[in-house]
Each structure stands twice: as C-alpha cells, then as structure tokens.
Amino acid sequence: DQQVKQNSPSLSVQEGRISILNCDYTNSMFDYFLWYKKYPAEGPTFLISISSIKDKNEDGRFTVFLNKSAKHLSLHIVPSQPGDSAVYFCAASEGQAGTALIFGKGTTLSVSS
C-alpha cells in the first residue's frame, strides 16, 4: 500500500508559466518531506524540503506547500524553464535516524519553449 502518492504521472507546461506538482501521503507519522529532481541515468538531486512544523518553504523559483490536515503537499515552480524538464519525486520520512525515505512514483514534467 503506497504511503506517498503522486497521482499525476506527467505534466506539460509552457515556459514562463507555473508548474504545480502534487503529492499525497497517508502516514501521519511523517514529519519531513522532500522533493527530488531526476534526469535519466542520474541519481535524484535534492530540490527543497519542508518540516511538518511549517506550511511553506521557498527557495528561489521553488516553493513547497504543506497541508497537514489534508496530508497533501505541492511543489510550485515559477517561472518554469525548459531545463526544469525532469522527473520529480516527492519523498517523506519520520525524521528518526535510520528510517527510510518513502518515495512517490514520480511526475514527469515537460516544459516547452
């Protein structure tokens, strides 16, 4: 049973517009959430994270929003650029040492110029 779900396998956006990637989770013990970006034949690269004590975190063009009551988080990319085209993974952990990162299955973002 998937604890982290990314229900949209793909998303297409035009350059300069906003990209919104969504993620839902079921485990209320998760207290730390991360977004990773992955290009083919490379490992995931950390993008941005958020602790459960916050509801928003920004880093340049990337903002992550967390709605704990809905067990939902989203990644906003503004403005989107062609170089943002990649697979985006949402991940969650319980924050304790040794616990695994639980990943969603990813959303492939395509940004067209």
Partner 1 sequence: KAGVTQTPRYLIKTRGQQVTLSCSPISGHRSVSWYQQTPGQGLQFLFEYFSETQRNKGNFPGRFSGRQFSNSRSEMNVSTLELGDSALYLCASSPDGTGYGYTFGSGTRLTVV
Residue 92 or residue 111: which is nearer to partner 1 going by CB? 92
Number of other residues whose CB lies within 10 A of the CB of residue 55: 12
Are the C-beta atoms of 8 and 107 separated by less than 8 Å? yes
Q: List residues near partner 1 by CB under 8 A.
A: 32, 34, 36, 41-46, 49, 89, 91-106
In the complex, least distance from residue 82 CB atom to partner 1, rounded to whole angstroms: 22
Quote the least distance from Cβ 105 to partner 1, whole Å.
4
Please say which residue, 17 or 54, places its beta carbon nearer to partner 1: 54
Q: Which is nearer to partner 1, 20 or 102 (CB)?
A: 102
> What contacts 45, CB < 8 A, 6 or more positions away?
36, 37, 38
Instruction: State how beta strands 10-14 and 107-112 pair.
Output: parallel
CB of 17 to partner 1, least distance (A): 27
Nearer to partner 1, 40 or 83 (CB): 40
Q: What CA–CA distance (Å, rounded) separates 64 from 66? A: 7
